[in-house]
Amino acid sequence: MIEGDRAAGYVTDATYTDTFFRELSPTWLGYTAVLNGAAPRDLGEPFTYLELGAGFGHSLIANAGAFRHAEFHGCDINPEHVEGARRYAAMFGVHNMQFHEASFEDLLVFDLPSLDFIVLHGVYSWVDDAARAALRRVIAAKLRPNGIVYVSYNCMPGWASELPLRRLLIELAATAEGDTARRSAAALDSLEALAAANLRYLTANTEARAAIRGYRTRSSRYLAHEFMNRAWQPFYSIDVADDFAACGVRRIGSATLADNHLPLCVDERTAAALMRLPTARQRELALDFAVNRRFRRDVLVRAAGAVPPAELARNVNGLVFGCSGDAGAIPAKVRVPRGDVGFNEEFVAELRNLMARGSFTIGAAAAALGGANAERDAGEIARNVIYLVAGGALQPFAQARPAPAAAGPPRFASPAVESVVRHVAATGAVRAAPSAILGNGFEVDPSDAAPVLAAVDGHEVAAASAALLGAWRRLGLLE
């Protein structure tokens, strides 16, 4: 058991879920920053990266495996997390990282390098004021000019209907037995029994009733960490921005990519009302109310200077994107916070053909899709591509690279990829394999691991697996 003061109000008698978050990738964060006006960073050069509250290191290991030339650090206060992360790193042969069993306060005296990326997922809502202040001091002391920070947190007003549920869950857990995860599970059982009695609060708050149904789909370990931390707190986004501005970083955008585009978040009438507000601060807060936001993934930078407007356009055109799945299945309609957004069928058909050929910069894609006589507007093409990335049909990539031609039986691109795939096949657990082309982890599902292993081992596979193997080649997972 970790001492209470050192734990900063955080649950330590139950481990967190072993989860991968694609938004923590340097590629994803760099894409977001450039899209919102920051200077680009050459990820082909060495860089340094720290994850605060890294858990079992799932995301950290995948990113370190994708960027073997970079230096990665992770810290966590739970010794089980650190031990597990080190074990996984060794198992998958990813060695360009260090895991530190440390509080945020401890890190202030560690000999850490200056950092290009500092990320923390969810932790900001789960630790107390002292721990939040300590992690901000780490950022103030260690983040380089043009460095990027990612911080995600529970957000108001979207949590308003669930705050009473959390209070009730804590009280119900108080009389249950076992560790925090078991008590959370027992509390949920009691909450569901109460919900079945048609409590008037739930009748009046349909979102709260729906939230209870959602809790049942999550593990008891997740519930323990989400609800039972003593210092748990949702925040208004402007208050978090103020916290980080005091340590020299400013919010520039969101790793929830659709949130960077007002037309994808709200309709024209709402957008016009927001834009009539006199300050960016008011508009940001009002947008959270417009979409009833409950979770934010803020991207912040320590800017070294303004980027000239002409250079901003070149930087955006230099962003790389691709398709991480079956290029032939890129949809002509995507779901965004505003609703469904559709795209021209002819354009999408040409885009599918282009994506089957590999990953491209936005500028190169606009040129290729402009037509023989450039009858399509390059700016409109770029905007469509950016919106398709925001809607999840496409994804930020680290490298623009033609897809390799299929020649003979496929081979794994690295021992790390093979280790992950065989681990997934043996355990049935989804795991992210490192992709240098994607510049991120790629989640491998057991249903995909089996046909890939069969193909690599020289067996014939069904024709339906051809698209899967093609996608893995484009991602650099297979040669």
pLDDT digits (tens, 9 = 90+) for 74-129: 999 999 999 999 999 999 999 999 999 999 999 999 889 999 999 999 899 999 99
> Can you give the pLDDT at residue 113?
95
Read off the pLDDT of each residue in 19-35 and give the average, rounded to a whole number: 97
> DSSP letters along 451-471, please?
HHHHHHTT----GGGHHHHHH
- The CA–CA distances, whole Å, from 478 to 239, 357, 470 equal 45, 15, 9
> Can you give the pLDDT at residue 451?
93
pLDDT above 60: residue 332: yes
Identity of the residue numbered 356: A
Q: How far apart are CA 56 and CA 79, in angstroms?
A: 10
Confidence of residue 185 (pLDDT cuts 50, 70, 90): very high
Q: What is the largest CA-CA distance in the chain?
A: 73
Q: 71, 114 in Cβ contact below 8 A? A: no
Q: Is 412 helix (H, G, I), strand (E, B) or coil?
A: strand
The mean pLDDT of the chain is 93
> Can you give the pLDDT at residue 466?
86
Q: How far apart are CA 81 and CA 101, in angstroms?
A: 9
Burial of 305 (0-12, 13-18, 19+ CB in 10 A): exposed
- Where helices occur in 10-68 by DSSP H, the ranges are 26-35, 58-66
Partner residues linked to 52 by β-bridges? 75
Give all domains of the chain, ordered by start, each with its CATH number. Answer: 4-157+234-301 (3.40.50.150), 163-227 (no CATH), 309-396 (no CATH), 415-474 (no CATH)
Q: How far is CA 139 from the centre of its chain?
A: 20
Q: How far apart are CA 288 and CA 100, in angstroms?
A: 35
395-442 pLDDT per residue, tens:
999 999 999 887 678 999 999 999 999 999 999 999 999 999 999 999
Confidence of residue 372 (pLDDT cuts 50, 70, 90): low
252-292 pLDDT per residue, tens:
999 999 999 999 999 999 999 999 999 999 999 999 999 99
Q: How far apart are CA 110 and CA 405, in angstroms?
A: 47
Tell me the angle at which helices 415-427 and 446-456 cross, rounded to the nearest 10 degrees.
Answer: 130
For the chain, what is the total number of helices (H) and then of strands (E)? Answer: 22, 14
Task: Reply yes or no: is the peptide bond before residue 157 cis, omega within 30 of 0.
Answer: yes
> Can you give the pLDDT at residue 409?
82
What does the block give as tokens for 307?
A: 């980027």
pTM over 0.85? The answer is yes
pLDDT above 50: residue 1: no
Residue length of the chain: 479
Q: How far apart are CA 444 and CA 453, in angstroms?
A: 12
Whose tokens are 């899209």? That residue is 35
First to last CA, the chain: 46
Q: Which residues contact 135 (CB under 8 A, 6 or more apart)?
A: 52, 104, 120, 123, 124, 127
